[in-house]
A and B are shown apart, each in its own frame.
Chain A
Amino acid sequence: MLLEVKGLKAGYGTAAVLHGLDFEVGEGDVATLLGANGAGKTTTLRAICGMVRAEGEIVFGGERVSKEATESIARRGVAHVPEGRGTFMELTVEENLRLGAHTRRDPKVRQDFERMCGWFPLLKERWRQQAGTLSGGEQQMLAIARALMMRPRLLLLDEPSFGLAPLIVRDIFGILRRVREESGVGILLVEQNATLALDLAERAYLLETGRIVLAGPAVEIRQDEAIRRSYLGY
């Protein structure tokens, strides 16, 4: 298992948000966390990265990473594309990608720049432009590319479709599909758009007010009409 989470509890101040989650992501797999606003999806990703105080066990690649600093977890190979994308607005596209490769010392970094340009041709056109001048979709692509520059084993994606036009969302999910096939990176995807997420994922977890109420293969959940009606609303 790439990521195993057991009994994860987290919150902000005195407000508890997560009440003990168990889930896992296999090597090279895509898992998705679904759920309504406020269910605790973003908090789950932040807890894995050590950005909120959390209790419980988080094992990544066979090693316990609970309570480690965000930087250290990132250096272990967890790349987080946060809510709001977290691009370095003042820096150029190229510099953003160079920062993504900050921890790497291997000679393949240059090769990876080409790879990103292959996956995200739009970024190549904007190579020397400030990230802040990019459109929302381009920024999302930049954020994903920056995360992939780390050569992570696990990619945490927080609502990559948020605030984007449907056509662009389709593009991004197309790219994600290609990325996982060509790079073998494991993905934990948080999404509001359940159809898209279930198409991409192998496993799905349904979150409701800080608890996992349903877990199973994505195919089954997608086909179960009762679940769709009651939880996913389509």
Chain B
Amino acid sequence: MDAFLLQLAAGVATGGIYASVALAIVMIYRATHHVNFAQGEMATLSTFVALTLIQAGLPYWVAFAATLAVSFVMGTLVERLIMRPVQHAPVLTQVGVYIGMLLIIGNLTGWVFGYTTKVFPSPFEGHGPALGGLISAHQLGSVGVTLAVLLLVYLFFTQTSLGLAMRGAAYNPASAKMVGIRVGRMLALGWGLAAMIGAVAGMMVAPIVFLDPNMMLGVLLYAFAGALLGGIDNPAGAVAGGFLVGVLENLAGPYLVGTELKLTVALAIIIGVLVLRPSGLFGRIVHARV
């Protein structure tokens, strides 16, 4: 029973990370109806930036904030320079451009920061295990950070007029223009925010899995699974899906399939959701109009 609770707690901790990346994916999906295959690579790059800043002597939280700023700029630049020109291109072109971005960002990261696996510090180290030994200090801290980010994002989208304008621009760009919303800026802003959320996920997962240029590939797969499970156009669903997938992964590991097949579990969830319930657990079914 203890082992079960332990796995459950670990599942919630990693689930929070999947939930963040899933949220980033859903945000871009809602605005552009595309899945950013390079989301993981962007997050890894951000995490390397954070490591560089920490190694340069900045206190952790200062480096954290600076990394968020850098990630935001990176996200908006990617939208402006790469995605905007192919906004109206066919699906194949867009998917290809995302793959191109994945290659460029991933390899540049390796080029600049090297391919050796690096230790990434946790701001919560030095505190003993929490909750009666169920969960490490870092896991608890990262759940806290993740929940804080999710809460902030929620408040931003529901309580501020900028958040509302972004939702309007994502749902109905034509009408958004008619009420004077600068839709292009909203898109760039959305990309910036998504990159920031991804950066938080990267900095939270790096102390667990160690930092290397391919760190986020597995996370990205689980985030896909989480986003699809929750309904890919539903941010709250994606968050729930992310947590659920984290727990599933950690329980399936020891109890069902063994840890060597973790990625396959994600694949199975993705296929299962898409075949059995394409709109996700909480999504609405949208019928294509002819």
Contact = CB atoms under 8 A, between A and B. Distances in A.
Interface in A64-117: 69-71, 74-75, 79-80, 82, 86-91, 95, 98-100, 102-103
A99 B168 contact: yes
Contacts of B180: 71, 74-75, 102-103, 150
Given A71-B182, A99-B168, A88 B177 contact: no
A76 to B, nearest CB: 9
A98 B164 contact: yes
Given A95-B164, A98-B161, A98-B164, A70 B177 contact: yes
Interface string B163-192: 011011001101111111111000000000
A146 B167 contact: no
A103 B179 contact: yes
A47 interface: no
Contacts of B171: 88-91
Given A88-B168, A91-B167, A102 B181 contact: yes
Contacts of A74: 177-180
A49 interface: yes
A86 to B, nearest CB: 4
A71 B168 CA distance: 14
B164 A86 contact: no
A71 B161 contact: no
Contacts of B183: 71
Interface size class of A (residues with CB under 8 A): 20 to 34
B24 to A, nearest CB: 20
Contacts of A75: 180
Given A91-B167, A91-B168, A99 B174 contact: no
A95 B170 CA distance: 14
Interface residues on B, range: 10 to 19
Nearest to A103: B180
B181 A88 contact: no
Nearest to B172: A88
A91 B157 CA distance: 12
Contacts of A146: 179
Interface string B110-150: 00000000000000000000000000000000000000000
Contacts of A87: 175
Contacts of A100: 179
A86 B161 contact: no
B172 A49 contact: no
A150 B168 contact: no
A79 B172 contact: no
A87 B171 CA distance: 10
Contacts of B175: 82, 86-88
Nearest to B181: A102
A100 B164 CA distance: 11
B205 to A, nearest CB: 32
Contacts of A103: 179-181
Contacts of A91: 164, 167-168, 171
Contacts of B164: 91, 95, 98-99, 102
B178 A86 contact: yes
A70 B178 CA distance: 6
A99 B174 CA distance: 13
Nearest to A80: B178
B178 to A, nearest CB: 5
A89 B171 CA distance: 8
A59 B168 CA distance: 29
B154 to A, nearest CB: 15
A167 B225 CA distance: 50
A87 to B, nearest CB: 7
Contacts of A86: 172, 174-175, 178
A100 B168 CA distance: 10
A102 B161 CA distance: 7
A79 B177 CA distance: 10
B178 A82 contact: yes
Contacts of A70: 177-178
Given A51-B177, A102-B179, A102-B180, 19 more contacts: A49-B178, A70-B178, A71-B177, A71-B181, A75-B180, A79-B178, A86-B172, A87-B175, A89-B171, A89-B172, A90-B171, A91-B171, A98-B161, A99-B165, A102-B164, A102-B165, A102-B168, A103-B180, A150-B179
Interface of B: 161, 164-165, 167-168, 171-172, 174-183
- Pairs of residues from A and B, 8 with the lowest C-beta to C-beta distance, nearest first: A74-B180, A103-B180, A86-B175, A70-B177, A75-B180, A99-B168, A80-B178, A71-B177
11 contacts: A79-B178, A82-B178, A86-B172, A88-B175, A89-B171, A91-B168, A91-B171, A95-B168, A102-B165, A102-B180, A103-B180
